[in-house]
A and B are shown apart, each in its own frame.
Chain A
Amino acid sequence: MTAVTARITAKKRLGDRLFSGGALAAGALILVVLAGVAIFLVAQSIPAFLIDPSEIKGSPSSFWAYVGPLVFGTIWAAALALLIAVPIALGISLFISHYAPRRLAQGLGYTIDLLAAVPSVVFGLWGAGVLAPSIQPFYAWLVDNLGWFPLFAPPVSGTGRTILTVAIVLAVMILPIITALCREVFLQTPKLHEEAALALGATRWEMIKMAVLPFGRPGIISAVMLGLGRALGETMAVAMVLSPAAVISFVLTGPQNPTTIPANIALNYPEAHGSYVNVLIATGLILFVITFAVNSLARWAVARRKEFSGAN
């Protein structure tokens, strides 16, 4: 006898259909929005590639000559910010997950999260109005004593509003993101691995080196990538702190600093008109492509190890 067991299905009620349809529509809407963002950006950027370069502010020789320094500045500022933020963020996450007294650890975690709650415009105000003037004497000292080193080549900036100040502010802003993710990953380390290392006579640092860091490596990489994505897209802090110029320069403390794509848009957009608007939107499209690639890479790295790391 081969009785085909009929699959039991629930009765399709109107409420069910409406509800599941609504949920599906909301999910699909997100894909539509993302596609819409890409399509509108592309549509508005096309004129930028065709116009006469003399209409662009500063009259560069071509569209790409205009974009080049901006792309360089964006990546350079974000890289500097990462260089400052990543070691500190790893230290903080280890401190909260493995060093701080248990009872204090959660409260200390909240304290670092508070940094994430500060709006970026306030960071910009602080960076331009307080940090830059306070740090300028230090830059002067650096240029006087280490001026032979290409990164600190003279002359020194008189205001302190240089790319290094921007990188410090950006580093403070991306610290909480990297810290939060790394902390979660470090806390996921199997207790048995840690205890096994300690039972073999390892010191705390050796235990972390042998058990925690290898386990958390994919999580750390993706946290760093997410921080990078945030640093690349940060607008207001850069726009307010930096005194920009259209140059490609690695000097950290000089008066001529390359600016970033988002800051350039924010500074020029309110007064832009005609096809210059399209040029700015085209730079926004380039930024979108860069951050999209970085974020996809980060999410792909997390998803690959999701079952182990537990990081989102």
Chain B
Amino acid sequence: MTTDTATAPRVLPNAFTTGKLPKWMPWPILAVSLAVALGGFGLLAGATGDGFNWIAGIILGVVLFVVANWVIARLVEGARQAADRLITSLVTGAFVLALIPLVWLTITVVANGLPTFLNGTFLNSSMRNVVGEGGGALHAIVGTLIITGFAALISIPVGLMTAIYLVEYGTGRLARGITFFVDVMTGIPSIVAGLATYALFALLFGDGVRMGFAGSVALSILMIPVVVRSSEEILKLVPNELREASYALGVPKWRTILKVVLPTSIAGITTGVMLSISRVIGETAPLLIVAGFTASMNYNPFTERMMSLPVFVYTQYVSPGTDAEFYIQRAWAGALTLILIVALLNAIARLVSHFFSPKLGR
């Protein structure tokens, strides 16, 4: 043993942090790679005289960061930790990537739709006798509300009763069959629902039939399975003790369901119904086929063509008239209206489930 080891103060390496990069390490690496990439593209823009390509700069910077982060971790921490860091950056990157279309879409819809949406005529006139500027989507908004309202009127009782059957009564093969086919029905393409409804109504009323109510029937085909699935999940959450207590008091089964099970789960059912409405209110294809499109107001769902908001957006976009820009502007304003309605329904659903759901946790 030599003396100089004894004189130097011994620093014990911390066994838990040696050979590890500090936690904040990715941030400076990210900053440096972004700076390098953006700087490189800036120099390139200066040298060639082209515009500054900041999108390519950011993409290159992020790629540079992922590689640098992996290389540094590989050198300091070893292969296993480096793989862990690589996956962490990829997974986070996937999430950020998915946010890009969401933000981009929201910004463009609001920016393009807001001026026309607020121009005064959009919300209180129809497209009757309108060529070019002006006109509005009132006939489409009314049509959407009527068609979706009738669809809800059909779907909610049928869907809710089916859910009750599956949870309270159903056993054996029939219940299993219904569960399976409800699941399969969730995946019916919306245009197929439209075609099947057209085929039915063509048998009843002759070829070329178009009416708002047929649109409601088509939407119901899409809506019923969603209502069944969500109500079933909620009804299953009702504690069995409540049912048994009710039976023990001699209450018949139907009154138990009506007075105990449904009131307990009403908040969840309402949420599910709201979400299912918000899902079908944006459906375009079936309404294009069975409800048709028109420029005029139509309050009667049982005769004639009926406009709806998604079909309005579609027709304004695909068949612009003489002054195309006004048609495109109206399409964006219609899209904004549609998104606002869906957002409102979603917000109501979340509020209902937040304030009225039974507190199951202790």
Contacts and interface: CB of A to CB of B under 8 A. Distances in A.
Contact of A266 (B94, B109, B229, B285): B285
B13 interface: no
Given A95-B94, A236-B314, 4 more contacts: A26-B159, A88-B98, A203-B80, A287-B189
A103 interface: no
B35 interface: no
Contact of B313 (A125, A239, A270): A125
B98 A175 contact: yes
Interface stretch (B237-245, B295-303, B332-340, B353-361): B332-340
A267 B231 CA distance: 36
Contacts of B228: 30
12 contacts: A19-B254, A25-B161, A27-B166, A37-B192, A91-B91, A91-B94, A117-B343, A122-B282, A122-B338, A179-B98, A233-B189, A266-B284
Interface size class of B (residues with CB under 8 A): 35 or more
A16 to B, nearest CB: 5
B221 A33 contact: yes
B28 interface: no
Nearest to B342: A117
A91 B184 CA distance: 27
B91 to A, nearest CB: 5
Contacts of A277: 207
List 3 A-B pairs, minimum CB-CB distance, nearest first. Answer: A233-B189, A119-B282, A91-B94
Given A235-B191, A236-B284, A23 B332 contact: no
Interface of B: 80-81, 83-84, 87-88, 90-95, 97-99, 101-102, 104-105, 108-109, 112, 157-162, 164-166, 168-170, 174-175, 177-178, 180-193, 195-196, 198-200, 202-203, 207-208, 221, 224-225, 228-229, 233, 252-255, 257-258, 278, 281-285, 288-289, 292-293, 310, 313-314, 317-318, 328, 331-332, 335, 338-339, 342-343, 346
A190 B95 CA distance: 24
Contacts of B175: 27
A123 B105 contact: yes
A49 to B, nearest CB: 16
Interface in A253-312: 262, 265-266, 269-270, 273, 277, 280-281, 284, 287-288, 291-292, 294-296, 298-299, 303, 312
Contacts of B339: 118-119, 122
